[in-house]
Amino acid sequence: MTHLPWDLQLLNTCAALLLLLSFAMLSQRRIVTLVDLLAIQGGLLAVATLLLAWRTGQPHLYLSALLTVALKVAFLPWLLHRLIHRLEVYWDTEPLLNISGTLLAGVVIVVFAFGLAQPITQLANTTMRSAIGIAIAVVLLAFLMMITRRKAMSQVIGFLSMENGLFFGAMSATYGMPMVIELGVALDVLVAVLVLGVFFFQIREQFDSLDLHHLESLKESE
Amino acid sequence: MEVLLLLGLPAAGALALGFLGARRSAPELNVAFSLGTFLAACALTVRVIDHGDQLLAHEQFFVDPFNVFLVALTAFVGLTTSLFSRPYMRVELAHGRVTARRLRLYHAMYQLFMLTMLTALTTNNMGLLWVAMEAATLSTVLLVTLYRTPASLEAGWKYFILCGVGIAQALFGTILLYFAAERVLGAEGVTALLWTHLNAVKSQLEPSVLALAFVFLLVGYGTKVGLAPLHNWLPDAHAEGPTPISAVLSGLLLNVAIYAVVRCKILVEGSLHSPLPARMLMGFGLLSVVVGALLLWRQRDIKRLFAYSSVEHMGIVAFAFGMSGPVATFAALLHMTVHSLTKSAIFFTVGHAAQKAGSQLMENIRGLVTLSPTIGWGLMLGALAILGLPPFGVFASEFLILTTAMREQPWATPILLAALGIAFAAIFGRVQPMVFGETTARRLPHPPALLPVFAHLAIVLVLGLYVPPYLADWYRAAARLIGGL
């Protein structure tokens, strides 16, 4: 058995915890807890980025970690908590597929994700290439969460979790995208959440609820 | 300099209208900024004609024959749509569907939307292209929900979630592209995502990674193109938003999205040396043509009808790009141009027709020609043009695409012909009673702006009869660039 340096072990632990968090999010129906889980996911991402920055000595990764903390650990969760209290949506209703079924589907997805990551992992020369499979799994699990949830708020959290997964993928395959792009993506995510905040109030005003089954009248068979 | 003006003017416009957009003169201000942007686009075009390809601002912006005509087209349709939107939004205000405050949002977002599209077209950076495409979605979400009706909120939500998920796939594709490029161009950050650099080394990029990247990029940007089966957001967003937005979504955003797909295709084809990307484009394209044409029959809402027609036409364009020969690519570029002009002209007339009838349902729109011959004839001519009747430009491009298909992909020709026939019957059968017969229409408090409609149709007519030599040269140069294999 090869002996890994401690920082790499820590990085791999972060990756494993990220995957675990994705499953926790899949099984969680309390929206406040979902936001907390999202914040922890952001925190783990920041830790992983910092470790990687220290290991590779690339200055832009420090900036990127700072950005992650500011946006994903502090600002977005704060904004979402405020939205939740203002809109009084605390619980999601029973998902379209029950929790144990969703978790089983999640396991299948993880296997599929590692299969998909195979060609990339073989080519990557970064130190944490084994995490690429996990990143793809996080993205796909977030996608599954978006499909199975009924409340608009849970879908948004799924969307943000997907973005976290993509970010982690970029980091483990290429040590992160160039800074300009990361800033642009962060800006887009920020604007997206602000737009959604406005949007939630509009939905709420119109339907008195954030349940998405109200938004199912535009069908082809009008 | 020109690029600075081209992007700076809509940015300044968005800011100015964000503060002043509620004023009575805001629509004129909107027109003024759009006119400025159009003039900057003309200046840029002249520069490219005189000096060839341009690499600007530390290689961050790149203008070649492929995107310069799209820049000019985007700025032109942006200008004419702002002209159309001036009386249209005033009528909506008079009918009480929007408030002055929401008009401020509308005007600011309109300029922001133009900015994101022009950025996506001119940028040389594949990452920035992604950022601009996502920003284009975000700037239009609140425009789709401008009327705050239940249906518009649903359309806006669908638009946001579907395009958001789609664009996330494209981000993953971009990451994979960067991953492959970094191995060749080195990790020194910025150059590894510049399209010109990627294009120079495309044959060295790792094929297996690029094939995977293309799947994600095609699905991602394809969602925004409205390729079936990812087209679900498109008809809702077109039908429920204000008509000027339907016109720019259909006429411009879909073009920009397919532009992004084609830029990626050039790289991937250069690396793969196999027809995989071309086949995928043809498959998605053909499916969209068929799905779009069949769903035309089930529509009762006039804006949904023409939204599905956009799905069909984007399918034709994707199929033509998939065929990859110089002639097919030439035809695809021509088709992008004429579809954009014709479809926005149709939406202009449809907007005023729906206002006059007080409904978007086709059964309630009758006899347009009696009350206002210009709107009636505009809609009729627009419909005939989009259906590909000679001598309009759509006929020329569809004819080229069909004849190329007969030679290179004979199996697809009957499917294309059948879909075009179905679409013809569906649209013509519905437009005819709307234009002629007994009228139910009312007068509007502001006279509609019909100059844009006839200006667009005139250009489409001219392009059908005669493509000016410099335009043909561009198309050919772009076709050589895209032609691939």
> Per the domain annotation, does A220 fall within a domain?
no
In angstroms, the CA B310 to CA B250 distance is 6
Between B144 and A208, name the one with better pLDDT.
B144
Q: Is A144 within 8 Å of chain B by CB?
A: no
List, as one string, the DSSP characters of B391-417: TSHHHHHHHHHHHHHHHH-GGGHHHHH
Q: What is the pLDDT of residue B485?
A: 44
Tokens 């992650």 belong to A68
Per-residue confidence at A222, pLDDT binned at 50, 70, 90?
A: very low
**What three-state secondary structure class fits A55?**
helix
Please state the length of chain A. Answer: 222
Picking from B199, B180, B271, the residue whose alpha carbon sits closest to that of residue A174 is: B180
Residues in chain B with pLDDT values less than 70: 187-190, 440-441, 483-485
- Other Cβ atoms closer than 10 A to B469: 8
In angstroms, the CA A176 to CA B297 distance is 48
- Count CA atoms closer than 13 A to A43's CA, side-chain side: 11
Query: What tens digit of pLDDT does each residue of B215-268 get?
Result: 999 999 999 998 988 888 899 899 888 999 999 999 899 999 999 999 999 889
CA-based torsion, A194, A196, A200, A202: positive or negative? positive
> Per the domain annotation, does A214 fall within a domain?
no
The structural domain count of chain A equals 1
For residue B391, whether the previous peptide bond is cis, meaning omega lies within 30 degrees of 0, is yes
In angstroms, the CA B258 to CA B225 distance is 6
> Per the domain annotation, does A129 fall within a domain?
yes
Looking at the predicted structure, is the pLDDT value of residue A34 above 60?
yes
Q: What is the pLDDT of residue A217?
A: 64
Q: Say if the Cβ atoms of B193 and A196 lie within 8 Å.
A: no
Residue A116 is part of which domain span? 6-209
Nearest to A195 among B142, B149, B161 (CB): B142
List, as one string, the DSSP characters of B416-431: HHHHHHHHHHHHHHHH
Q: What is the pLDDT of residue A127?
A: 65
The nearest alpha carbon in chain B to A186 belongs to: B131
Residue A210 distance to chain B (closest CA, Å): 11
Q: Is A194 within 8 Å of chain B by CB?
A: no
- ipTM greater than 0.95: no
Instruction: Identify the burial level of A8 via C-beta atoms within 10 angstroms of its C-beta, where 0-12 means exposed, 13-18 middle and 19 or more buried.
Output: middle
- Would you tell me which residues 91-150 of chain B have a C-beta closer than 8 angstroms to some C-beta of chain A? 125, 127-128, 130-131, 134-135, 138, 141-142, 145, 148-150
Name the token pair of B329: 């690519």
Query: What tens digit of pLDDT does each residue of A118-166 get?
Result: 877 777 766 666 788 888 899 999 988 888 887 778 888 888 999 889 8
Tokens 């992992």 belong to A121
> Per the domain annotation, does A20 fall within a domain?
yes
Q: What is the pLDDT of residue A221?
A: 42
Q: pTM here?
A: 0.90
In angstroms, the CA B341 to CA B349 distance is 13
Instruction: Identify the burial level of B406 via C-beta atoms within 10 angstroms of its C-beta, where 0-12 means exposed, 13-18 middle and 19 or more buried.
Output: middle
List, as one string, the DSSP characters of B15-72: HHHHHHTTSTTHHHHHHHHHHHHHHHHHHHHHHHHHH-SEEETTTTEEE-HHHHHHHH
Q: Is A199 within 8 Å of chain B by CB?
A: yes
Q: Is B208 within 8 Å of chain A by CB?
A: yes
Q: Say if the Cβ atoms of B138 and A188 lie within 8 Å.
A: yes
Q: Is B189 within 8 Å of chain A by CB?
A: yes
In angstroms, the CA B218 to CA B166 distance is 9
Q: What is the pLDDT of residue B313?
A: 94
